[in-house]
Structure 1
């Protein structure tokens, strides 16, 4: 089944295990709980491998195999906080990867590889086609076991990683439980969210009561909340009725804040993650660090620099024909969109290729544009500057114009010590302004911080968004975009099968924009990215119509009708690799309106007034 050579497996395995480790390598073994946990997971994998072969030979039932997988996953969950923090690439790629094809690089060559790991097995073994997928289940289980066995032997031989701040992995696990666990992202087949969350929290509880490091802290409050959360999860096991608001407010957030009081050191995470370790709430404005996503340093940023960036943003003279500014397509009164199907080109009567996305919270990304062709905020502006359909100019021309204006000379002297008007300072100024446009003061943010109330419909809509409607498995909390938790250091794109018209307008045809596969990023020139587009944030979505990259959908009802049908494939269109599940969601009209009620609480354009 697996068509890539053994030497490549070895190369990729070595790369994954040795890849970025945010803390130093310890020469001593980690505490007893970690050693036992790693060993127990290995034993559970051995049992799972045996059970898979028994199932293939019809010696045990599917229910027995499902139980074996659940036992294996529960064992993994108890040490997930440790493995996922100290060996993030190995964990993400080989242990618990999403059930999607992906790109991996070996040297200068990129390979398109099939998915593997626990999530893939969960989807297969809990599917109606499990009996027809016996060989595939055997292959994936064997590959998973072999990968982990190599990792385990290497870890035991070389010594396990040990961090200076042992609360960081635990707080990240709380983010993981809430954003990937109880949403069903981690369990696409079984939806066994409560049991797995319980084992993840149990692993945390064991750890803080076993490791000598935690003797420095008063763990009584954390123990109380952990015990109460385990009791809550034992009584609330239904995926669709699980109250993710109550679970967050009563258990996840208090634990997150309490553990944050114990040790505030960031280790080396600032170089690896956009998560702000000093935040106290997932829905606070400081949960993500905007400077992680831009070349601009905090020490360089100031009000004068933002003011200069704002001046540039609204200045039409920077474009080639001096008739277009950044604000031509990103109007502040429209949440920095233009409300057009596709934005106006600098050529009279023509448009650019795609719809204009909002700039609110745009800084919180590691990839930019719908096709993800830019890798940092400053590069995004560069694409606009040189694009013949947009600014159609160059840095040299822009700098020459700015140098000729006394007001810009004064502004650059005020914002920069060297006072130079050059490409670097121009980019920093523009980035400073765009990076300031974040909006985490919506009604919903205030509600999750216990500062105000929202309607019952909005609450129900949020639980649908996080559960039955599957929205949060792509639009991850709290940014509600494809910025992947818990490290928030990569963006996802999705193949949705977006149509040229809403689903109630026939005939239905697939939009002809190929998306990411045409981004000119060489290593991503793969069939898996055909019709793939960046997952944008749904914050301020009530103000940013029309929707999708092609601007073909005018209302939130039309958007939700499309998802309710299972995207393009669910509508009967031929798709190579739709990443959106094609199954119908079976949302009622009332449920759709409740989701819209929630989405309406995500509006916050307060920065329009303050900036």
Structure 2
């Protein structure tokens, strides 16, 4: 073997040893990198592969375990190594990461009616749940473990890490957000609730990455600030899952880390080629500056025209001339004073409850059944619906052209003037502006005001922890669009009954099933936001629940199965959450604090 290659391999081994056993002196391995010209990326890749191989080895041992105690020990070891590589794996191989970390429910992929894939889940969450089923079935554990191990082996064989410096920043930002928004909620540790310990491992990896790139820092005191902050954060994460104070962790640590990340961008003199779901300068998870709204649209809007287009869209939104008989506008069903709902169980001649339009732009599917993929498409459905506008796109265009004010505005704002696409675009831009992030909760977690009550803080901590609400209603939007990538909006089967009358009767609306007739999608509905929930009663797709108290009782008792109904694919755990009356009261207080001002 070439002497140079041997020397480089030896240096990398020294780096790994320094990383694993000498973290008290972060310069131990960075000095080796600098002196021997091993690049930070070389070291990062070798460290990643080392943990990946140790994860595979632990799964190999788990595959052959003969007792629960031994199996659990190897599972924890494998899981810890997986969590150590999570920041990198989730960034360079998102699809495989999501498969390995997926919940224990069927994965349904519906591209179109001719391309429907139904995949049985595998990965760490599945192993964890099967391992704790009674009676213990080690053969099933072994089968899922083998599939998980083989996927990791495939990843190891095909991994070639190529990261630019700005990728490293994005990678760290994603892990900080992931920890706050899914990690500490128990999203991926459903039985063991080992989320806090696993979050510590993620922070250790962030620390190691930053110190690996120590030579990038022109201001070494900034790196020291990072090391101190991560040390304090890890200490804060050493507690009980149910009693953990998630509110103050995010307020005092997550947001501080995002600010440090912005300082790091300036210190490294970085420029980003584009923005992902998060704005590159975001410093809060709960702000109107958090999201790049264009990420959720089909094309990027020109900033100088956006506000004027919003005003045009608002006028169109409230104009009854857009309907065939001049009696209905968008605002007929979406009243601003009710957070753009209508306060009705179901609007006359409609099939389902009217959802809020606030924060509607921050998702990837529209309508309860997800039948359209953007706001413009949703508007087409409304225009064509015989029980709504009862019109068509050509008529819509003709109506706008006959109005001189509209005609002039469109010619000023759009190169091709009045077209049905431009009309829909203007309305969609207005709807995309309805994300205020100025609620009592937002203002308090952002230190704008100090008015939040202990009950509301308790409610947030329960929502994000013991009650498991945030494992479906993901912060910061509290809808079903999964952070930190925000590329998928989830659908759930809760087992909603026809009404609150007992004995319970299953609702006949099959939801997502109607789109592609996929049997496994019967009764599935998109997870909506709970922001402004204080104004959007009644609740659920059929308006079955008139108030939050009865709705919380439904969740607390295991959904439809808890009511005695049979749903093979219910995604809401059927067991009681064991929430006490005061805890439910606190959760409701928190949800009410999400009302926009």
Give the TM-score normalised by the residue count of structure 1.
0.87
Residue in structure 1 matched with residue 77 of structure 2 by the alignment = 71
Query: In the aligned structure 2, how far is the partner of 1:562 from the partner of 1:51?
Result: 38
Residue in structure 2 matched with residue 487 of structure 1 by the alignment = 485
Match of 1:448 among 445, 449, 463: 445
Query: In the aligned structure 1, how far is the partner of 2:324 from the partner of 2:111?
Result: 42
Residue in structure 2 matched with residue 315 of structure 1 by the alignment = 319
Query: In the aligned structure 1, how far is the partner of 2:78 from the partner of 2:391?
Result: 58
Task: For residues 392-445 of structure 1, give each alpha carbon's deviation from its aligned partner in whole angstroms, at most 9, with x where no partner exists.
Answer: 110111111111122222322343344x21112212211111111112000000
Matches of residues 207-606 of structure 1 in structure 2 within 5 Å?
207-211=209-213, 214-216=216-218, 218-234=222-238, 236=239, 238-263=240-265, 267=272, 270=275, 273-299=276-302, 301-344=305-348, 351-418=349-416, 420-452=417-449, 453-502=451-500, 505-519=501-515, 522=516, 525-604=517-596, 606=597
Query: In the aligned structure 1, how far is the partner of 2:218 from the partner of 2:69?
Result: 45
Give the unaligned 5+ runs of structure 1.
1-27, 56-60, 345-350, 607-611
CA contact (8 A) 1:290 1:435 kept: yes
For the pair 1:98 / 2:111, whether they are aligned, the reply is: no
Task: Note closer, same or farther for the CA distance 1:268–1:64 as it changes in structure 2 (3 Å cut).
Answer: farther
For the pair 1:206 / 2:190, whether they are aligned, the reply is: no
**CA positional deviation for 1:213:** 5.8
Task: For residues 559-608 of structure 1, give each alpha carbon's deviation from its aligned partner in whole angstroms, at most 9, with x where no partner exists.
Answer: 1000001100122210020011111011111111111110111000x4xx
Query: In the aligned structure 1, how far is the partner of 2:217 from the partner of 2:563?
Result: 57
Query: In the aligned structure 1, how far is the partner of 2:178 from the partner of 2:93?
Result: 15
How many residue pairs end up in the alignment?
A: 551
Query: In the aligned structure 1, how far is the partner of 2:414 from the partner of 2:115?
Result: 42
**DSSP-derived class of the 1:112 partner:** strand
CA contact (8 A) 2:365 2:371 kept: yes
Query: In the aligned structure 2, how far is the partner of 1:562 from the partner of 1:138?
Result: 36
Match of 1:135 among 117, 136, 139: 139
Give the unaligned 5+ runs of structure 2.
1-38
CA contact (8 A) 1:123 1:187 kept: no
Task: Note closer, same or farther for the CA distance 1:288–1:266 as it changes in structure 2 (3 Å cut).
Answer: farther
**DSSP-derived class of the 2:78 partner:** helix
**DSSP-derived class of the 2:61 partner:** helix
Task: For residues 235-270 of structure 1, give each alpha carbon's deviation from its aligned partner in whole angstroms, at most 9, with x where no partner exists.
Answer: x1x111011012212222211220122127575663
**CA positional deviation for 1:106:** 10
Match of 1:178 among 177, 180, 185: 180
RMSD: 2.0
Task: Note closer, same or farther for the CA distance 1:368–1:578 as it changes in structure 2 (3 Å cut).
Answer: same
**CA positional deviation for 1:178:** 1.1
Give the TM-score normalised by the residue count of structure 2.
0.89
Residue in structure 2 matched with residue 36 of structure 1 by the alignment = 47
CA contact (8 A) 2:58 2:77 kept: no
Query: In the aligned structure 1, how far is the partner of 2:474 from the partner of 2:103?
Result: 14
